Structure 1
C-alpha cells in the first residue's frame, strides 16, 4: 500500500471531518474532489475525469464507487474500506448517479441527511444534476463543499515537509534553467529543463502546465501552446512549481534578455514593494482579503492600478489537474483568516499591454505565529540575461 502519511495522520484527518459532520448532523458525505480523496485516504488517481464518489459515513466507514479501471488503484494507494464498481450503461436509470443511490440504499442510508461536495472538478454539472434527481426522494441533501477545504488549508508537520521538498525542487529547476536563457534560446528547451529537473529529482507532474512565454506573450499568465526562439532584446515570464507527493510550491519571474526597458524597472519596483507589503499582512489574525488590500494599495499608489489583476495569490497544497490553485484565493473582501501552517503563493502580475511590458514576481510562503517564511531561497531581484 503506497500511503505517504502515517495511519495516525489519516485517522486524525478523518476525525476532524467527522466532527464537522456531527456539527451539521450529517449522516454521510458524498465526496467528489480528488484532492479530498487523496488527503482523507491516500487515494491517488487521474480517474476523476469520470464519475467516482467516496462515501464517508458518520461512523467513519469509507466506500468508493468507481470504474473497474480504478479498483486496483484504490486498493494499492489508499486505506478505503470498500471499493465498488459502477458499470457503463446506456439507460438513464442505470446512470452512475443511480448506481450510487443503489449503493447508498445497500448502506441503509434511505431517509438520511447527506452532505454533497458539489464544488469539485470530479463532479460535472451534468452529473450533479443527475445526482440531485437520483437522491430527491431518497435523502435530505445539502451542499457540504466547504467542510474539508479549511481543514486541508492548515498543513500538518508531515505535509509541510513535503511542501518544503517541493520548494527545493522549485529552486533547483530555476537554477538549472537560468543558464539556458539567452538570445536564440528555444522556449522548448527551457520548458523541458524546468519540468525535467523536477521529475529527475523525484518530483511529480504539476496540476497545471507551466507558463513559459516570451515576447508579447510574456504578458500572459496562463499556458498557451506554441514555441519561439528568444530575441536579443526580449522578456520571458515563467510560472512553475516543484511538486512532491502532489504538493506544490509555485514561483514566478519575468526575466529580461538584453537591456531592461525603463518600464521594466518601474514595474519591477512596484512588484517588489507590493510583494513585501503582502508579507506584512500574511500573519495570523489578518483576513485573507487584507493581503490583497496591501498589494492593491501599493500598486495603486504607484500608478499601476490599471495593470493589476483582481487576485494576487492563493493557497497551495496537494492538488490535481486542472489547477494547483487551492482554497482560499487571495482577493478583496475574503474574510477567511490567515492561520499558522498555511502555504500561500503570493504573486504580483503587472502587464502593460500598451507598452508590451510584463512583470511577474511571486513565491510560496509558510505562515507561522509571526512573519511568514519564504519556501524559496531564490533571489527576488530583477533577473536579466
Structure 2
C-alpha cells in the first residue's frame, strides 16, 4: 500500500473532525474535496473529476462512493475499507445511490455537513444532490471544516514541506543554469520539472508559470514558448512538490544587462519579502502580512503595479491549482499559528514600461518567526 502517513495519524485526524462535527451539531459530513479525502484517509487519485463522495459520520464510520477505475486506487492508497462503486451506464444516478446509502445509515432527518466549495462537486451535480436530499436531511455548508484542520501541519507533513522546498531549490538551480540568450523556454521548463521528478517529487497541482519579454508580466501559465533574446526578462513561478505537499517560489531572471529600473524593482521586492516574512509570526492576523507588502511597495511608488493579495497557504493540493486556503489579503483575520505554511509572493508588473520583477518563497510559521523552506538566496538573478 502507498500510504504516506501512519494509520494512527490518519485516525487521529478523523477523530478531530468527528469531534468538530459533533460540536457543530452535525451527524456526518459529505466530503467532495480531494484534499480532504487525502488528509483523512490517504486516498490519492484524480478520479474526483467524476462524481465521488467520502462520507464520514460523527460516529467515526466512513465509506467511499466512486467509480470502478478508483476501486483499486482506494484500496492501495488509503485506509478506506468500505468502498462502494456506482456503475457507468446510460441513466446512471450516483446521487440517488448516495441517498440510499445515507438512508441505510439511518440518517433520515439528520443534519449533514457538506463541502459545497469543491472542485470535485460540479454545479450540476451539486444541484442534483441538493434536490435529491431536500426533505430527507438538512444540509449545512461545511466547506472549510477540514481545511481548518489541514491549515496546521503535523511534523510528518512539515517534513514533506521541507523536502518540497529542497526540490523547489533544485528547480531554480536548473533555471539559473540554462537561462540565457538563445535558450528556448521549453528547455528551461523541462529541466525544472525534471529536477523535481528526479528528486522523487510529484506533478504540481497547476502548471508552472513561465513567461519572457512582455509575457513576464503575466501571473498565469499560457500555451506557447519563445526563445530568450539577448536582452530579456524571464518570470518563473514554480513549486517543488513531494507527496502532494507544495513549496512554491517565484523569480524574475534578467537576461543581458539589467535595466536600472529592474534593479530598483528588485530591491523593493526584496524589502517587501523581508517585511512580509517578519510579519508572518504566530499570534498575528495574516492580514498583517499583506499590510507589510502594501506599505513597502506603496511607499516606493509601486501601488498601481502590485496585486491585491501577496500569497496563500501551501500544503497538499490537487489540480487545478496549488493555492490553498486562506489567502494573504487586506484584513484577513485568520491568526498565524506554528505549523502553518504560506507562500509569499511579491509581484511588481509595470504595463507602461513593460518591466516585471517578482520574488517569492514558501515559509513555515515557527514558534517565534517564519522559517523559509526555499533556501536559494533571494538575489537579482542576471544571466
Mark yes or no: TM-score above 0.5: yes
Provide the secondary structure at the position in 2 that maps to 1:369: coil
Among 140, 143, 154, the alignment partner of 1:142 is 140
Aligned residue-pair number: 383
Q: CA deviation at 1:90?
A: 4.0
Deviation at 1:12, TM superposition (A): 1.2
* Runs of 4+ with >4 A deviation: none
| Distance across 1 between alignment mates of 2:265 and 2:122 | 40
> Corresponding residue for 1:353?
351
For residue 321 of structure 2, the aligned residue among 320, 323, 326 is 323
Q: Secondary structure at the match of 2:153?
A: coil
Q: Using the alignment, how far apart are the partners of 2:60 and 2:265 within structure 1?
A: 52
In 2, are the aligned partners of 1:343 and 1:365 still within 8 Å (CA)? yes
For residues 245 and 118 of structure 1, what CA distance do their matches in structure 2 show? 25
- Which of 277, 282, 285 is residue 283 of structure 2 equivalent to? 285
C-alpha contact (below 8 Å) 1:89/1:95 kept by paired residues: no
Distance 2:108 2:293 in 1: 50
d(CA) in 2 for partners of 1:159, 1:144: 23
What is the match of residue 242 of structure 2?
244
2:109 maps to which residue?
A: 111
Alignment check: 8 A CA contact 2:175 2:191 kept: yes
State the partner residue of 1:80: 80
Q: Does 1:378 align with 2:363?
A: no
Q: Within 1, Cα distance between the matches of 2:250 and 2:264?
A: 18
Q: TM-score, normalised by structure 2?
A: 0.98
1:47 equivalent in structure 2:
47
Distance in 1 (CA, whole Å) between partners of 2:148 and 2:107 is 27
Q: Secondary structure at the match of 1:275?
A: helix
- Out of 305, 308, 313, the position equivalent to 1:307 is 305
Of the three residues 248, 260, 263, the one matched with 1:262 is 260
Report SS of the residue matched to 1:148: helix
Unaligned runs of 5+ in 2: none
Superposition CA RMSD, Å: 0.9
* 1:279-324 superposed Cα distances (whole Å, 9 cap, x missing partner): 1210011111111111101111111000111110000001110001
Post-superposition Cα deviations, 1:264-292, rounded to whole Å, max 9, x if no partner, equal 11211111111111012100111111111
Aligned equivalents of 1:284 and 1:197: distance in 2? 33
- CA deviations on 1:10-67 (whole Å, 9 max, x unpaired) are 1111111011101112111000000000010000001011110000011111100001
Contact conserved, 1:44 with 1:74, CA < 8 A, in 2? yes
2:19, 2:58 within 8 Å by CA — same for their partners in 1?
Answer: no
Unaligned runs of 5+ in 1: none
